[in-house]
Structure 1
Amino acid sequence: MPSFITKLGSSQWQVRELLLLLPLLLYGFLFGTVYLWSVKKNQGSTEKLGTFSTKKILLGAGASFLISVFVPSLLFSGQHAMPLVLEQSKNRLFMKKAEPNLQ
């Protein structure tokens, strides 16, 4: 079974790197606070739509569409790399057809 722990080696921390940690902690706290607030706000607004509704489905489909158009790198399962995969598969098929039969 493969290990899920990746060892990156040793590191040497100086005072400058430790000072960088404070703004990062503050940023993480502020981002978490804003995220928690937005989750509560979102739950309140989606509860008004009902348990199962066509409006929720359309809202989710619209959000997925906007993400795929404007930020395709956020798509899961490598969907943003599909054009590259298709292009490479075309090249391989073309190369196989172009190779002479060496038997």
Structure 2
Amino acid sequence: MEEAYRFDERSYDALDAAGVTWQTVQYVLRNRPRVRRHIGAVLNIAGQGADQQWYMVALVEEAADEYLVAGARPLDETEIQAVSKMLERGAS
């Protein structure tokens, strides 16, 4: 089953505050390479947007394979290096 991602008003408010568009979030969620970390009901996905900038998207699992976007932000250089190393090791 393919994952479904949902936005609500709080999602849009959080993205606006971080200066990240919903289109960028969709791009990060749907494209590869990316790093996924699932801890409990929280899913973090790091990947590049169409602008080649690296982003972290935070989601909350509402049901099996259904996620609410909680926020997103650009990664800093240290985080980009860490994500790059994870990708080199085959993390996804």
For Structure 1 versus Structure 2, the TM-score category normalised by the shorter chain is under 0.3
Q: TM-score, normalised by structure 2?
A: 0.19
Q: Which has the larger share of helix? A: 1
Larger Rg: 1
By relative contact order (CA 8 Å, sep 6+), the higher-ranking structure is 2
TM-score (norm 1): 0.18
Higher strand share: 2
